[in-house]
Structure 1
């Protein structure tokens, strides 16, 4: 994909691989194959979040439907807009026709395709896609009417703790009085359950993790062989997060025609590819405090494994 490998991406990836410890940003999991693998992951017996979040979205939408009347519904990191569809299906048409939906995502093609599909499904609703990195360009989101922000899928759990607090603070500053946020978070639970979700028996998550090396090859021209690395995922108790790594099976040298020096790996050295933080109620309240928001409701499944948190700017 040479057309995608612009200098900014190449510089970012090169810097991550030269860092100590080595890292790769989790956004680079998602080329076409990565997206296919993630879809397979969501169907795995061990991977619990979608199985809980989808019915929770339905029940929460029914409870919050009056809050959505005459508002701008803003979904951050909207992707294929599948989750907002589940949510909107539970909102009566007479309320939907008062809503303007703004999907926000960095991928223009995804935004345009999703907006078209949603407009066909909900012709009574105004839909205006915004192509932007919401982490950097929150100011692009219109703010004349009351807004209801959605950030689903526990995506915030992929941020570092510091970045999550910074993001929440920035979002809080951009929100107006009485704007609301519905935030998806994966909760702390039995560690064995969490670790199994990222170490499935079929090895799909391992293949997904290794696929980031193929994406890096596409961008940097590196000669990574994914089979020379082992998938490692474990719960870090100190930071309350799952960490995913790729561990070199032997001493390795990785070359690229656009890098001056080879990337050297010692046997057992890892590339840190993803974090997935798990939250407690106290942690949720700290995030809300960083944003200057009040926690109105925490909607959870019966086991309290996953939550949708309603916050409001007062």
Structure 2
């Protein structure tokens, strides 16, 4: 039987490595730790329930939100070159979601004739299954080896023929602070072999007004996206947050060169989270930081990667120089 004649069900596998209660336990731990500290914080991964994912897709189409379009522009222009340089037989992706942008890489690698396997990793089994089954239909010779795992704890690369290309797109790396990035690079370096390569998306430092507008759009979609995390806590933990009692705020932290998103209590209020036996008292004006999005400069990012044992092989940007894609290899 030729690869083209395989039934798509034979070419798609889903390996779920997370315990059944992983997300519930992780949410409880993050909320207990982050909301009990001063200043309060939550990790941005809890934005993405079904409603949050819909809102983020809407954000990517807003005129103020440039990163998705800028990265797409680079991929449209550079995907054939990436395919030629990587010669990847396996394409892995962290935080793959719908795998929409990845199709540009799949097309280029398929055209070059090297690609055998696509290995997406995400915490959502439903997103992996939906995307994987669609890809099997659209790419008749492709094998999809999906893994349900949390890249903040485990990086899974396919045990398939190399060279392997690992994609980490969308400047998700910017959601990690400097210490978290160092831990991520260390885990990644241990998993990569000498002929593997990393394709890394990184949003670049630019006019702070442009950055703030990208995270505080005129239509209020990002504000709704930000407040949605409180709806997640209400539903999953029985909390009694009033999302409308919190204002959305996006600020530029010049010292750390990052955008921060906050939810700011508009009046003094008390919140109960029964699942955690937790009571929170908010003063008027007190905030919860819900996201950091670090922005990068070429010299400092290359130095950071160098300290972690990587060498930047190629650096591409969109036309206005707003966003970068890096092709990175383990240092010899």
Do structure 1's residue 34 and structure 2's residue 52 form an aligned pair?
yes
- CA displacement, residues 37-83 of structure 1 (integer Å, 9 cap, x when unaligned): 11111111111111111121121211122234352211111111111
Per-residue deviation, 1:139? 5.1
Aligned residue in 2 for 1:65: 83
Preserved contact between residue 221 and residue 257 of structure 1 (Cα < 8 Å): yes
Aligned residue in 2 for 1:119: 136
Corresponding residue to 1:85 among 95, 103, 106:
103
Aligned residue in 1 for 2:70: 52
Task: Say which SS state the counterpart of residue 274 (structure 2) adopts.
Answer: coil
The whole-number CA distance in structure 2 between the counterparts of 1:295 and 1:94 is: 23
Preserved contact between residue 93 and residue 124 of structure 1 (Cα < 8 Å): no
Per-residue deviation, 1:87? 2.3
Runs of 5+ consecutive residues of structure 2 not aligned to the other structure:
1-20
Aligned length: 311
Aligned residue in 1 for 2:151: 134
The whole-number CA distance in structure 1 between the counterparts of 2:136 and 2:62 is: 31
The whole-number CA distance in structure 1 between the counterparts of 2:244 and 2:132 is: 39
- CA displacement, residues 241-271 of structure 1 (integer Å, 9 cap, x when unaligned): 0000001011110013233342110111100
Preserved contact between residue 28 and residue 276 of structure 2 (Cα < 8 Å): no
Per-residue deviation, 1:173? 2.1
The whole-number CA distance in structure 2 between the counterparts of 1:293 and 1:31 is: 34
The whole-number CA distance in structure 2 between the counterparts of 1:139 and 1:83 is: 20
Do structure 1's residue 253 and structure 2's residue 286 form an aligned pair?
no
Given the two structures, how large is their TM-score scaled by the length of structure 1?
0.94
The whole-number CA distance in structure 1 between the counterparts of 2:75 and 2:26 is: 36
Does 223-232 or 285-294 show the bigger shift? Answer: 285-294
Do structure 1's residue 242 and structure 2's residue 242 form an aligned pair?
no
Aligned residue in 2 for 1:205: 222
What is the CA RMSD across the aligned residues, in angstroms?
1.8
Note closer, same or farther for the CA distance 1:305–1:69 as it changes in structure 2 (3 Å cut).
Answer: same
The whole-number CA distance in structure 2 between the counterparts of 1:155 and 1:299 is: 17
For residues 295-306 of structure 1, the aligned pairs below 5 Å read 295-306=312-323
Task: Say which SS state the counterpart of residue 244 (structure 1) adopts.
Answer: strand
- CA displacement, residues 267-303 of structure 1 (integer Å, 9 cap, x when unaligned): 1110000000100002221232133111111011121
Does 47-56 or 81-90 show the bigger shift? Answer: 81-90
Runs of 5+ consecutive residues of structure 1 not aligned to the other structure:
none
Preserved contact between residue 87 and residue 109 of structure 2 (Cα < 8 Å): no
Aligned residue in 1 for 2:125: 108
Aligned residue in 2 for 1:170: 187
The whole-number CA distance in structure 2 between the counterparts of 1:156 and 1:179 is: 19
Given the two structures, how large is their TM-score scaled by the length of structure 2?
0.89
